[in-house]
Chains A and B, each alone.
Chain A
Amino acid sequence: DVKVTQSSRYLVKRTGEKVFLECVQDMDHENMFWYRQDPGLGLRLIYFSYDVKMKEKGDIPEGYSVSREKKERFSLILESASTNQTSMYLCASSLPVTGAGETQYFGPGTRLLVL
């Protein structure tokens, strides 16, 4: 079974703090993704990566950065957390396009509260 883990289920930070969200997958997937999920807005893609040291901006990259130093790990960084970044953050991984398109496997999510 594919396993995608995220470092924290719940996180409380203060405005202006630097925040690291870690995601690890154990299936040697090339692709990794960070989404945020907000009520009424669904999932919005922040950043994704197709390979080590590669990153691509998603739909809402502002205020975030990412790091992919190893294939299995994809980190999301909030350089200076703000209250509007309070959200549920979901990490996902996938293989490149296969006979089933691109099935993404999700982690359990990190619920971040910025005070």
Chain B
Amino acid sequence: GEDVEQSLFLSVREGDSSVINCTYTDSSSTYLYWYKQEPGAGLQLLTYIFSNMDMKQDQRLTVLLNKKDKHLSLRIADTQTGDSAIYFCAEYLNYGGSQGNLIFGKGTKLSVKP
């Protein structure tokens, strides 16, 4: 089945690290994504990882992929109040050829306390 699960809320203090977790169910997923949605705005792509990688780092962001457990995480180092947003995990399912679909989780709302 196609399902992406993530916890709905996370609260951290400014300067701490945040870790947002996600599990997915389809082992054939080729790409996994993290999107960020700031209040009142659309979704913005943060980063993505290909399924043959287990880690990707981009400045304060670290993505870890455990393909065996179908677990994806996003770590934000030195979390700032501007990181407060909803973070969506998404998996790309390729149905064959150029047909596919992005399956989104419900989003994790990150609150950063000063």
Q: Return the contact of B42 from the options A50, A102, A109 (Cβ within 8 A).
A: A109
Residues of B within 8 A of A105 (CB): 45
Please judge, given known A-B contacts A42-B88, A42-B106, A97-B100, whether A109 and B41 are in contact too, CB under 8 Å. Answer: yes
B98 touches A97 (CB 8 A): yes
B16-50 interface with A by 8 A CB criterion: 30-31, 33, 35, 40-45, 48, 50
Interface of B is mostly: strand
Say if the beta carbon of B7 comes within 8 Å of chain A: no
**A94-110 interface mask toward B, CB cutoff 8 Å, 1 = contact, 0 = none?**
00110011111111110
Contact B31 A106 (CB under 8 A): no
> Contacts A105-B45, A106-B42, A108-B41; is A100 near B101 (CB within 8 Å)?
no
Residue of A nearest to B30 (CB): A101
